């Protein structure tokens, strides 16, 4: 009985800690949002709510199983959706009047959109509320992606168990079998160490990082289907440190004519045209982030090393969404330098290496790797 | 063996000095420990525990999202990440330099010398190098101001146009007061403005002018001009107080010429002999073969005596002159031996002295040989007397309007305070200042001019030598070119100075060449090169007349008694126009090695007799000044630098040092920068100066090697005998390093190096070296990667001086490398000592083990730190950082750039293609860099020279840097 009681107090204390902890970690934004009343400009709240219901397919619509949201995402999705998201549409039409919105929805000009919007029959009233809903969305901004606190919560939880086990082991001795808190302690501690170790090792590395870009640009379509060479767009790769994200006017070389894509319709390409017309450059998300203190030059690797782009960037021609192929760690660089052979004979620059040429001729060595000519010197990349 | 020393204390008792130095250093470090580190071992553990937890938290959160924003429309010439170079011209504070501006992704980050210019010949000075920082100065005006309040150009134009019109109708005088203008296009604009406003007058005012020379030449040649001095042609150079290697007239050009006339690389090379008469130790005096310390009041007597002696030797009638204390017979013999190949110059602003100097040069046949009169130097045109007239006119209200451009008389004129009051009482006062200054604060209107890197301009520094300045960045603030303002107020609708410059070049200069048949082509070509040499010489050599000479000699007074104070332009700050530049403030004076202050240089003997030491405080005519006991300071004189003590300059420069301009006087219509009969008093105070002369000691080992020209002629290895000894003793247990490709090396010609410190600032700009401030310099933490060691030898009253740039020696057996516990500093395959900054954990073992004391440690985070509020604390100030180099926190890229270029192009690197920042712009061509594996390269030849030695070669560190023995052309 006494022991039972003890256990209960222990549990209570534990639950209390969990409660305190969750109060601190509960996203404060959510609490704030629930208290805030929705204010809209120019539209009544009822319109907005009704529009939302229509968009979600909760009101009658002549398609049986589909509604707006079936194609136009409201929340961020993990998979590629060629159709513009609700938020993108909202932004685009926020400044425009209802008539143009209506024309765009009911009498679309593009091939792809006419296909999917075929025989749309939406009452003006319904569509107006949809516009109100979208306008409101444009004003409020899209829903921010909630950061995942899973790792943090787990880490702190383990810390808590660990502390409890330790305290029990030393002071309270509420659990009779000493082995239990000991195992719990070691287990929790070990797990924590493992978490720190894995995270620390991964710190700053972003293999497979594939963020959503402001324009749904597909390398697969441009490279694989249309057969455009990498260097057509990444012009400075042979001479510059960076390969160069193409300037928007370079896109317009083709897109001055091509205004509609097979997958994305007109919406995505219109963004480029818009950027050029408004004089506002597209803000891409940078994928390949080298750690600080590293200087890397594409010119050496592509210009003189003649490396193939895919060696570091992977099968870009198969990527609809561009992602980071290599982990860009120092070990990865160094290993490649150790294995990669240098075109020693053809490039007259290497005539500086008289001794190596002699050795090569005499057959003392059979090939020169990048490492042999100092590619793994610290100051090659760190200066 | 000659003893070399760095301070008076070391001279007196080297052993005691060494011991005190160590104690001082230890004490300083102990104090620092107590002051700064409030942290203990427990704090460390706490921090450690916290950071482990923080690491886990951080790791579980999302990573920052970086954006990559491409050009919308990419300009053709820009490749992101690659630098472009634009030719331009620097002309500020009467100093001219043709430059290349390195622009990375739209922002200028470095100034380099333009090798196409016949004037500056790829050289720059420390001030030119530091000027890039002025562009990003927080003290710049962001908008036009009306009585200190921000306003807009519309209001400015409305009011001023109206007011100018009113003054014109009332026929009240308006004066456009500028510093010397060397831009022909600007002159044409000013003339248009003057024609439009007949009541207006244009006046040029220079803080430190060449009035003496101008007026003397007016008498001697009938034209006020500064002649073209050719130091490279002179076999004997005599300078009376002219610091021509430091700040005098066209110092970069003179340094080039001077070192060219003294290069000794092979048998048969000749060397000029340089005599210097001066009071304080300048860098020119420190390079002289014969240096004679004299009082400034004696200069007249000396010049007159020299003239007399030459007359006497030539059997001509002599004059009555007071006796001089110096025996000039040796000098006279030298001069007469080299008639037509000698050069006599004087830094004096006294017309009489300059007249006699002209007389001497004439007697020696130097005109037309080493002193050219057909080509003139235009950088100093201000006549002091004219400005004095203006002051009285402003005071008595004859002048109603004043437009100030590039001048700061409130600061740099002895009557500054009166001028300030008078300007405040004017009907119209306008300042075109770029940044805040004392005169702009007194003016009603401020119409900010852009920085020279944001503006179009041209220049004619010497007759027939033209150059262009082009914007390297669009205007950062709401500024407008002065030329455009003047045109606008003159009634022109949409003035555009670019068009004016372009038209001037096509209309006036196009006809002076034959290479191009099309004006546009000529313009583009000139703009690309930055310079243009006219094929037409406008004038022949002028004829010398003796007018005024005999009067001048009669007027020479004997030297006076009592204290004499010499005011000089310091190498770093010159006349103080760039007073808010932290790089210049931190640059140690080349001789005294003091940064962040001006100081009174007092003679050694007097100091010893009166118990005065470095950092004692004395008063000079009531101004309190810290003392530096200066070997070589003439007895009875004290030298103090101008350019300090700015009251309104910006956060860096305000209140640094004391303003000495108020001590200058006006005599016979010219400014005099020395005074006699000064009151000097001792005080019991002390002031802590940032003196770095005894820091980074190499513990008294023979670092400098020297010989004389005569000995060198007999044996090119003279003075370098130790090298042979060390070579003999060379044994090693380790296999020698093998460098398969390149093996980079550098050579320093100690004979050429003048100590001008251009390389220190150039390196600072290139490598993002932080400014650390007075306190930290005192703590022996000066950051300059190239320091210039200065050694004295022989007599303390008049020592011989040696300047020795010391940078990382890139030893092949580097002592710093093998002590690093984390291998953060290994040796590269190309012989470079590399540092992986992010690997460094800060043990500082390398610093302790470096025999050359060249390792630097970043003790603090100097960027974005309120403790170090200089230039890196604002977005604006940080724009100057070089993106190709790490901003080291705690804890060479030019080679890579050229190698990449060569590799991609598939060719070998040519000799001289890779030029580090210090080498590129060295005005004395004292530094050479190249591949030692290439036997044909310049560096290989330098290192094979008999004069070459390595620092502390007995340690067998095998440095990649060689030094060439200093040769002096001493009188046998």
Q: What residue in A sits closest to B62 (Cα-Cα)? A: A147
SS3 A247: coil
Q: How far is CA B950 from CA B803, B866, B956, in A?
A: 15, 42, 10
Rounded Cα gap, residues B842 and B7, in angstroms: 32
CB B253 within 8 A of CB B120: yes
Output the pLDDT for position A12: 52
Residue of B67, B820, B900 to mutate, testing the A interface (most A Cβ within 10 Å of its Cβ): B900
Report CB contact under 8 Å: B56, A281: no
Q: Residue A250 and residue B57: Cβ atoms within 8 Å? A: no
Helix crossing, B482-489 with B497-504: angle to 10°? Answer: 100
**What pLDDT score does B891 carry?**
43
Best of B48, B49, B73 to substitute, by most chain A Cβ atoms within 10 angstroms, is B73
Whether the per-residue pLDDT at B415 is higher than 90: the answer is yes
Maximum C-alpha span of chain B:
96
Taking alpha carbons only, the member of B203, B482, B240 closest to residue B349 is B240
Determine contact, residues B765/B129, Cβ cutoff 8 Å: yes
The pLDDT of residue B322 is above 70: yes
Question: pLDDT class for B33, splitting at 50, 70, 90?
Answer: low
- Chain A residues close to B885, C-beta within 8 Å: 383
Task: Give yes or no for a contact between B918 and B753, defined as CB atoms under 8 angstroms apart.
Answer: no
DSSP A206: -
**Which residues have a Cβ under 8 Å from the Cβ of B289 and sit 6 or more positions away?**
B273, B274, B275, B968, B969, B970, B971
Confidence at residue B461, expressed as pLDDT on a 0 to 100 scale: 95
Domain positions in chain A? 2-28+147-202, 45-140
ipTM of the complex: 0.79
Please state, in angstroms and rounded to a whole number, the distance separating the CA atoms of residues A249 and A281.
10
> Per mean pLDDT, which range of A212-216, A219-223, A288-292, B871-875 is the poorest?
B871-875
Measured between alpha carbons, how far is B719 from B705 in angstroms, rounded to an integer? 6
Interatomic CA distance for residues B147 and A19, integer angstroms? 63
**Mean pLDDT of all residues belonging to chain A:** 81
Fold entry, domain A45-140: Cytochrome Bc1 Complex; Chain D, domain 2 (1.10.760)
Q: How far is CA B804 from CA B38, B221, B926, in A?
A: 39, 42, 11
- A210 → chain B, closest CA residue: B65
Least trusted range by pLDDT, from B604-608, B725-729, B923-927, B942-946: B725-729
Q: Which of B589, B590, B608 is nearest to B599 (CA)?
A: B589
Measured in angstroms, the CA of A383 and the nearest CA of chain B are apart by: 6
pLDDT at B890: 46
What does the angle CA B432 – CA B437 – CA B441 come to, to the nearest 5 degrees?
Answer: 80
Minimal Cβ distance to A304: which of B742, B834, B904: B904
**A82-103 tens-digit pLDDT:** 888 888 888 888 888 888 888 8
CB count within 10 Å of CB B83 equals 18
3-state secondary structure of B839: helix
Give how far Cα B719 sits from Cα of B71, B288, B752, B967, Å: 60, 19, 16, 9
If DSSP codes are grouped into helix, strand and coil, which group holds residue A253? helix
Chain centroid to CA B185: 27
Q: In which band, very low, low, confident or very high, does the pLDDT at B35 lie, cut at 50, 70 and 90?
A: low
List the single range of A13-17, A75-79, B115-119 with lowest mean pLDDT: A13-17
Domains in chain B (CATH in brackets) are: 4-14+694-968 (3.30.70.20), 83-135 (2.20.25), 211-377 (3.40.228.10), 560-691 (2.40.40.20)
- From chain A, the residues in CB contact with B744 under 8 A are none
Q: List, in sequence order, every beta strand (DSSP E) within B719-828.
A: 744-749, 787-793, 800-806
- Band of the pLDDT at A34, cuts 50, 70, 90? very low
- Rounded-to-integer distance, Cα B483 and Cα B93, Å: 18
Mean pLDDT over residues B907-915, rounded?
A: 84
**Separation of alpha carbons B888 and A237, rounded Å:** 28
Q: At what angle do helices B416-424 and B384-395 cross, to 10 degrees?
A: 50
Looking only at the bridges linking them, the beta strands covering B600-602 and B637-642 are antiparallel
Quick check: A214 and A282 in contact, CB under 8 A? yes
Alpha helix (H) ranges present in B197-250?
Answer: 211-221
- Pick the range with the lowest mean pLDDT from A211-220, B324-333, B904-913, B915-924: B904-913
Which has the minimum average pLDDT: A29-43, B344-358, B403-417, B741-755? A29-43
Distances (CA, A) of B472 to B96, B456, B664: 18, 9, 38
SS3 sequence, B924-938?
A: CCCEEEEECCCCCCH
Cα gap A96→B535, rounded to integer Å: 65
Cβ–Cβ contacts within 10 Å for residue A141, how many? 10
Count the neighbouring beta carbons within 10 Å of the beta carbon of residue B517: 8
pLDDT recorded at residue B37: 53
pLDDT digits (tens, 9 = 90+) for B277-299: 999 999 999 999 999 999 999 99
Helices vs. strands in chain B: H and E counts, helices first: 31, 40
Percent over 70 (pLDDT), chain B: 94
> In 10 A of CB A146, how many CB atoms?
9
**Contact A247/B893, CB-based, under 8 Å?**
no
CB atoms A352 and B892 under 8 Å: no
Report the share of chain B in percent with pLDDT over 90. 66
3-state percent breakdown (helix, strand, coil) of chain B, nearest 5 = 35, 20, 45
Q: Do B60 and A152 touch (CB under 8 A)?
A: yes
Other C-beta atoms closer than 10 Å to the C-beta of B89 total 26
User: What pLDDT, on a 0 to 100 scale, did the predictor assign at position B49?
Assistant: 62
pLDDT at B133: 93
The residue-averaged pLDDT of B471-499 equals 90
- Over range B905-919, report the average pLDDT: 85
The verdict on a CB contact (< 8 Å) between B60 and A151 is: yes
Give dist(CA B305, CA B312) in Å, integer.
10
Rounded to whole angstroms, the Cα distance separating B255 from B925 reads: 9
**HEC secondary structure over B76-126:** CCCCCCCEEEEEEEEEECCEEEEEEEEEECCEEEEEEECCCCCCCCCCCCH
Q: What is the pLDDT of residues B657-696, one digit of tens each?
A: 999 999 999 988 899 999 999 999 999 999 999 988 766 6
Report the C-alpha gap between B220 and B359 in whole angstroms.
Answer: 9
d(CA B788, CA B286): 13
The Cα of B885 is separated from the nearest Cα of chain A by a number of Å equal to 6
Interface test with B, best of A155, A196, A200, A241 (most B CBs within 10 A): A241
B80/A244 CB distance under 8 A:
yes
Supply the mean pLDDT for chain B: 89
Q: Which of B450-454, B595-599, B761-765, B830-834 has the lowest mean pLDDT?
A: B830-834
Q: Is the pTM of this model over 0.80?
A: yes
pLDDT in tens, A186-201: 999 999 888 887 777 6
Query: With an 8 Å Cβ cutoff, are B740 and A204 in contact?
Result: no
User: Which of A288-297, B356-365, B575-584, B743-752 comes out lowest in average pLDDT?
Assistant: A288-297
């Amino acid at each position: 009985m006494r022991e039972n009681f003890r256990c209960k107090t222990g549990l209570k204390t534990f639950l209390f800690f969990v409660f305190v902890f969750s109060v601190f970690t509960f996203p404060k934004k959510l609490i704030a949002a629930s208290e805030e009343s929705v204010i809209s400009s120019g539209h009544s709240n009822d319109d907005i709510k009704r529009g939302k219901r229509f968009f979600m397919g909760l009101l009658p619509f002549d398609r049986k199983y589909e509604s707006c949201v079936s194609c136009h995402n409201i929340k961020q999705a993990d998979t590629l959706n060629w159709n513009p998201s609700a938020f993108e549409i909202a932004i685009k039409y926020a400044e425009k009047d209802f008539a143009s919105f209506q024309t765009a929805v009911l009498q679309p000009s593009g091939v792809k959109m006419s296909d999917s919007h075929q025989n749309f029959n939406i009452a003006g009233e319904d569509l107006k509320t949809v516009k109100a809903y979208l306008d409101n969305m444009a004003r409020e901004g899209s829903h921010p992606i909630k950061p995942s606190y899973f790792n943090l919560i787990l880490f702190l939880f383990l810390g808590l168990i660990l502390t409890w086990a330790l305290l029990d082991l030393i002071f309270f001795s509420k659990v009779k079998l000493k082995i239990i808190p000991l195992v719990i302690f070691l287990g929790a501690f070990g797990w924590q160490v493992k978490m720190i170790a894995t995270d620390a090792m991964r710190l700053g590395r972003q293999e497979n990082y594939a963020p959503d870009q402001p324009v749904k640009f597909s390398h697969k379509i441009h490279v694989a289907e249309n057969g455009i060479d990498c260097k057509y767009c990444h012009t400075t790769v042979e001479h510059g440190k960076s390969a160069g994200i193409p300037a928007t006017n370079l896109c317009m070389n083709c897109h001055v004519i091509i205004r509609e894509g097979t997958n994305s319709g007109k919406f995505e390409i219109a963004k480029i045209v818009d950027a050029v017309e408004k004089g506002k450059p597209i803000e891409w998300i940078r994928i390949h982030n080298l750690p600080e203190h590293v200087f890397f030059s594409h010119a050496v690797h592509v210009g003189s090393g003649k490396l193939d782009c895919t060696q570091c960037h992977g099968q870009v021609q198969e990527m609809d969404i561009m992602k980071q192929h290599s982990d860009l760690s120092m070990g990865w660089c160094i290993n490649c330098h150790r294995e990669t052979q240098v075109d020693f004979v053809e490039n007259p620059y290497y005539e500086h290496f008289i001794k190596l040429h002699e050795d090569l001729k005499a057959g003392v060595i059979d090939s020169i790797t990048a490492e042999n000519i100092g590619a793994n010197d610290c100051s090659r990349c760190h200066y | 063996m000659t003893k070399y020393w760095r301070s008076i204390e070391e001279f007196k008792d080297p052993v005691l000095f060494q011991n005190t130095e160590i104690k001082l250093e230890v004490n300083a470090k102990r104090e620092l420990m107590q002051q700064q580190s409030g942290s203990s071992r427990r704090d460390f553990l706490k921090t450690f525990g916290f950071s482990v937890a923080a690491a886990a938290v951080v790791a579980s959160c999302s990573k920052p999202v970086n954006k990559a924003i491409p050009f919308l429309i990419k300009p053709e010439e820009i490749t992101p990440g690659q630098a472009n170079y634009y030719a331009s011209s620097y002309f500020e504070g009467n100093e001219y330099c043709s430059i290349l501006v390195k622009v990375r992704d739209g922002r200028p980050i470095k100034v380099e010398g333009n090798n196409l210019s016949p004037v500056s010949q790829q050289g720059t000075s420390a001030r030119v190098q530091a000027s890039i920082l002025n562009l990003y100065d927080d003290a710049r005006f962001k908008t036009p101001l009306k009585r200190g309040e921000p306003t807009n150009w519309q209001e400015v134009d409305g009011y001023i146009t109206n007011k100018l019109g009113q003054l014109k109708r009332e026929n009240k005088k308006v004066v456009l007061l500028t510093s010397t203008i060397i831009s022909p296009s600007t002159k044409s604009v000013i003339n248009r403005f003057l024609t439009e406003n007949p009541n207006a007058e244009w006046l040029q005012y220079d803080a430190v002018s060449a009035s003496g020379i101008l007026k003397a030449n007016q008498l001697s040649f009938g034209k006020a001009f500064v002649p073209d001095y050719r130091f490279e042609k002179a076999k004997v150079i005599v300078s009376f107080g002219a610091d021509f290697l430091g700040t005098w007239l066209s110092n970069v050009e003179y340094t080039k010429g001077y070192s060219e006339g003294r290069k000794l690389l092979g048998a048969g090379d000749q060397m000029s002999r340089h005599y210097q008469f001066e009071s304080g130790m300048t860098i020119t005096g420190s390079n002289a073969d014969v240096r004679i310390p004299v009082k400034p009041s004696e200069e007249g007597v000396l010049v007159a005596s020299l003239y007399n002696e030459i007359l006497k030797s030539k059997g001509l009638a002599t004059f009555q002159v007071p006796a001089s204390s110096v025996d000039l017979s040796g000098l006279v013999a030298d001069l007469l031996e080299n008639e037509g190949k000698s050069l006599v110059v004087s830094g004096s602003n006294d017309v009489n002295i300059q007249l006699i100097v002209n007389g001497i040069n004439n007697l020696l046949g130097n005109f037309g040989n080493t002193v050219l009169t057909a080509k003139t130097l235009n950088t100093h045109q201000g006549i002091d007397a004219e400005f004095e007239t203006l002051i009285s006119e402003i005071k008595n209200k004859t002048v109603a309007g004043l437009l100030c451009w590039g001048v700061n008389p409130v600061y740099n004129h002895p009557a500054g305070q009166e001028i300030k009051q008078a300007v405040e009482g004017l009907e119209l006062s306008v300042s075109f200042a770029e940044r805040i200054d004392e005169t702009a604060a007194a003016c009603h209107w401020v119409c900010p001019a852009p920085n020279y890197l944001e503006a179009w301009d041209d220049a004619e520094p010497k007759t027939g030598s033209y150059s262009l300045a082009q914007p390297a960045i669009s205007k950062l603030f709401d500024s407008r070119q002065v030329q455009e303002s003047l045109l606008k107020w003159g009634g022109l609708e949409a003035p555009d100075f670019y068009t004016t410059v372009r038209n001037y070049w096509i209309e006036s200069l196009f006809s002076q060449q034959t290479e191009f048949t099309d004006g546009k082509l000529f313009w583009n070509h000139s703009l690309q090169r930055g310079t243009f040499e006219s094929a037409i010489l406008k004038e022949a050599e002028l004829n010398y007349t003796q007018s005024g000479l005999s009067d001048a000699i009669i007027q020479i007074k004997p030297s006076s008694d009592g204290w004499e104070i010499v005011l000089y332009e310091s190498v770093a700050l010159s006349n103080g126009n760039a007073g808010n530049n932290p790089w210049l403030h931190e640059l140690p004076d080349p001789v005294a090695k003091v940064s962040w202050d001006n100081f009174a240089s007092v003679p050694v003997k007097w100091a010893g007799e009166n118990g005065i030491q470095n950092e004692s405080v004395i008063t000079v005519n009531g101004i309190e000044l810290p003392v530096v006991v200066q070997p070589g300071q003439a007895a009875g004189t004290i030298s103090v630098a101008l350019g300090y003590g700015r009251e309104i300059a910006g956060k860096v420069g305000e209140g640094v040092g004391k303003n000495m301009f108020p001590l200058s006087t006006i005599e016979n219509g010219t400014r005099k920068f020395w005074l006699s009969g000064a009151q000097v008093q001792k005080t019991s105070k002390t002031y802590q100066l940032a003196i770095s002369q005894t820091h980074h000691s190499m513990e008294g080992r023979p670092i400098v090697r020297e010989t004389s020209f005569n000995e060198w002629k007999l044996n090119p290895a003279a003075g370098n005998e130790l090298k042979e000894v060390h070579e003999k003793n060379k044994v090693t247990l380790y296999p020698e390093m093998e460098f398969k490709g390149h093996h980079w090396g550098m050579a320093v010609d100690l004979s050429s190096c003048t100590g001008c410190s251009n390389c220190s600032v150039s390196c600072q700009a290139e490598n993002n070296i932080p400014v650390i401030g007075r306190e930290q310099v005192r703590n022996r933490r000066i950051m300059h990667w190239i320091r210039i060691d200065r050694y004295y030898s022989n007599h303390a009253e008049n020592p011989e001086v040696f300047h020795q740039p010391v940078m990382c020696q890139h030893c092949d057996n580097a002592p710093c490398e093998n002590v690093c516990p984390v291998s953060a500093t290994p040796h590269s395959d190309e012989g470079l000592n590399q540092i992986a900054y992010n690997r460094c954990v800060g043990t500082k073992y390398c610093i302790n083990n470096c025999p050359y004391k060249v390792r630097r440690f970043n003790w603090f985070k100097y960027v974005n730190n309120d403790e170090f509020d200089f230039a890196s604390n604002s977005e604006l100030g940080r724009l100057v950082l070089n993106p190709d180099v790490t901003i080291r926190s705690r804890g060479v890229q030019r080679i890579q750039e050229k190698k990449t270029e060569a590799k991609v192009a598939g060719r070998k690197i040519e000799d001289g293609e890779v030029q580090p920042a210090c080498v590129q712009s060295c005005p004395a061509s004292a530094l050479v860099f190249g591949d030692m594996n290439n036997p044909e390269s310049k560096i290989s030849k330098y290192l094979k020279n008999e004069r070459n030695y390595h620092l502390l070669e007995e340690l067998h560190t095998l440095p990649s840097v060689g030094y060439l023995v200093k040769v002096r052309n001493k009188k046998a």
